[in-house]
């Protein structure tokens, strides 16, 4: 969990209580809200305590076939407004001499999404960590997400943001198109 000292917890609880008072919400139902908020925040930001590179334990293998995992769900908080982001991540990689256990890809996504993010950086971070750890011929990451900061405030519009990160062989059109075909068909 995120390393919060007791005095920081106390200050955060007081801040939440001040917010509740500001909103006129000081009734019985909100009595435990400050403590609940601190606990929820610890869970939502638990990715800071995880080294994403340590998640990706690799196995040496001589496969050269495309590996894809799609629709990996994630939830996060926008670093600009602290409002929720939710979406899915699609990952394709072309191994060189290493593969990773299938469950490691969602664990990587979860670790990185349990931090304050902007989607563009989040997408690139996934690709970079996979490239450095697996040393594949290429990585292709696509992230599709809904941002509550756009839907709940400001423009108040719905829509999905889509970002992608291409590394290695996927910079070339033919491998990129093959990966897209497998990921979305």
Q: Among all residues, which ones are annotated catalytic?
A: 78-81, 119, 147, 149
Residue whose token pair is 């969990």? 1
| CA-atom Rg of the chain in angstroms | 20
């Amino acid at each position: 969990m995120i390393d919060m000292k007791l005095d920081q917890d106390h200050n955060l609880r007081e801040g939440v209580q001040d917010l509740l008072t500001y909103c006129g919400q000081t009734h019985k139902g909100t009595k435990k809200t400050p403590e609940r908020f601190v606990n929820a925040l610890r869970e939502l930001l638990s990715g800071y305590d995880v080294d994403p590179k340590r998640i990706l334990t690799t196995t040496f293998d001589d496969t050269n076939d495309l590996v894809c995992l799609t629709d990996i769900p994630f939830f996060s908080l926008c670093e600009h407004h602290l409002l929720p982001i939710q979406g899915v991540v699609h990952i394709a990689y072309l191994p060189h001499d290493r593969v990773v256990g299938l469950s490691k890809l969602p664990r990587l996504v979860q670790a990185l999404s349990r931090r304050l993010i902007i989607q563009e950086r989040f997408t690139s971070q996934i690709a970079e960590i996979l490239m450095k750890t697996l040393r594949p011929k290429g990585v292709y990451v696509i992230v599709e997400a809904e941002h509550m900061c756009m839907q709940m405030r400001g423009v108040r519009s719905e829509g999905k943001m889509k970002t992608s990160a291409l590394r290695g062989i996927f910079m070339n059109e033919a491998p990129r198109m093959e990966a897209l075909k497998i990921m979305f068909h």
